[in-house]
Structure 1
Amino acid sequence: MKNHFVLFDLDGTITDSSEGIVNSILYALDKMGVKEEDSDRLRSYVGPSLKETFRNNYFSNDKDCQQAIMNYREYYSEKGIFENKLYTDVLKVLKTIKDKGGVVALATAKPGYFAKIILNHFGINYYFDSIVGSHLRGTRTDKRDIIFEVLDQFGFPDSNHIYMVGDRKYDILGGKYHGLKTIGVEYGYANHGELLKVNPDFIIQSPLQILECF
């Protein structure tokens, strides 16, 4: 794995964050008088940006979307961020990659501010050579732009040795856009058949299988 660069998504790839995200969305919607009872549907919103989630599913104007995002962060910043857990064996995967000389980066659509808090909370921040997320002001939410920023930080290394690991189509399409090898994880939040449609180089069912892709 020496000279390999491995970019990880966060939600649905490193951590099972669905409880906190679903509760934060429910809180945001409730404050705006919107009732949502389908928790399974809400789980499918883990991955896209908040603006995309609220705009495509609940609100037709930017003002309401922005208010929903503010409501969401009100709950998330105090409670939702910690309603979260590491997937089994993720720590072993990160340690193995680093011990064998690999470079590890985080490429998440979650604001980098919150991503750093989460990695620190679980004590895994020191495994990451770079942590890149969206901006709190709502910019740089496209996974292609996030991956570009990671690659730029490392001087655009040989893409034959760079892997993008994620659970949603956005991760795979973002990786392919930059010519990276892609690993789709089925233990996350992708809808049925979502990963197959975007044809990642590898599809795996557990974190440990990530190590078999290098």
Structure 2
Amino acid sequence: MDTPLTHTADVGAPARPYSSVLFDLDGTIADSAPGVVGSVQEAFARSGLEAPPLSELMTWLGPPMLFSLCERAGLEEETAQHVLTHYRAHYDSIGLLNAEPYPGVRDVLLALNAAGVPLAIATSKPEGPARAMLDHLELTGHFAVVRGAMDSAGRSSKRDVLAAALDGLAEGNLLGNRPAMIGDRHHDIGAAVELGVASIFATWGYGTVDEAAGASAIATTPLDLIELLLG
């Protein structure tokens, strides 16, 4: 089990390229594809519908599930909500446990903690399952703030989630003047651009390289982040 350091800013530390770092979860911190895809397939089966092929489902990883059900599967809103209910029931109890951190991610988090860089999670995954996954992977202690989609808080888009995570860091005086967002889909990069935040595209995730448009930098492996983030 990792031993994360406390999230305190060292005012005497050398200047770093970024004052704080926000990570996407699926496709950036953890490979959650088996759990997500399996839960989607189960949800379609329970709804009496034929699931899209695996190659199509892999493109669903990252964006909000309701968006994929409506925009990619072409389901009507009522049907999509019905499938989503089955998806969440299966994923929240079984699917979220079927995930693993990408190789090198733990080392990156430990290095950033040791350098005193405040960290946050900003994910389109609902916040409850996101926290449960981090607990299961024993990664929760690395992050000062965890924000995910939350209907009751009006957080549905990646922009909403990222804004909430930035606010969370700011409330703890951890944000600094140059935060950076790291993600593997164009939703992550687009949200960062909208909010005036630097971004790093993670090519090891589920997106394609053309989704990196607008990113401040590109990382090929998690370990590349150490140099990019710490200089």
Q: Distance in 2 between matches of 1:120 and 1:141?
A: 23
Question: Conserved in 1, the CA contact under 8 Å of 2:120 and 2:169?
Answer: no
Q: Distance in 2 between matches of 1:191 and 1:96?
A: 27
- In the alignment, which residue of structure 1 is the partner of 2:139? 124
Amino acid at match of 1:207: P
Q: CA RMSD in A?
A: 1.9
- In the alignment, which residue of structure 1 is the partner of 2:9? none
Give the deviation of 1:199 after TM superposition.
Answer: 2.5
1:18 aligns with 2:20: no
Question: Conserved in 1, the CA contact under 8 Å of 2:125 and 2:149?
Answer: yes
Amino acid at match of 2:28: T
User: Residue by residue, what CA displacement relative to the aligned partner does 1:41-68 show, whole Å, maximum 9, x if unpaired?
Assistant: 1111011111101011234422111111
What is the TM-score normalised by the length of structure 2?
0.85
1:185 aligns with 2:196: no
- In the alignment, which residue of structure 2 is the partner of 1:154? 169
- After superposition, residues 87-98 of structure 1 pair within 5 angstroms as 87-98=102-113
What is the TM-score normalised by the length of structure 1?
0.92
User: Residue by residue, what CA displacement relative to the aligned partner does 1:146-187 show, whole Å, maximum 9, x if unpaired?
Assistant: 11112222338454x211000000001111111111100011
What SS class does the counterpart of residue 86 from structure 2 fall into?
helix
What SS class does the counterpart of residue 203 from structure 1 fall into?
strand
Residue 149 (structure 2) aligned to one of 124, 134, 146: 134
User: Residue by residue, what CA displacement relative to the aligned partner does 1:5-44 show, whole Å, maximum 9, x if unpaired?
Assistant: 1000000000000000001111111222322352121111
Q: Distance in 1 between matches of 2:30 and 2:148?
A: 15
Amino acid at match of 1:206: T
Change beyond 3 A, Cα 1:57–1:3: closer
- In the alignment, which residue of structure 2 is the partner of 1:167? 184
Change beyond 3 A, Cα 1:150–1:37: closer
Choose 162-171 or 65-74, whichever is displaced more: 65-74
User: Structure 2 regions of 5+ residues with no counterpart?
Assistant: 1-15
1:210 aligns with 2:212: no
Question: Conserved in 2, the CA contact under 8 Å of 1:3 and 1:103?
Answer: no
Q: Distance in 2 between matches of 1:65 and 1:164?
A: 30
Give the deviation of 1:192 after TM superposition.
Answer: 5.1
Choose 98-107 or 26-35, whichever is displaced more: 26-35
User: Residue by residue, what CA displacement relative to the aligned partner does 1:84-108 show, whole Å, maximum 9, x if unpaired?
Assistant: 1110010110111111010000000
Change beyond 3 A, Cα 1:31–1:42: same
User: Structure 1 regions of 5+ residues with no counterpart?
Assistant: none
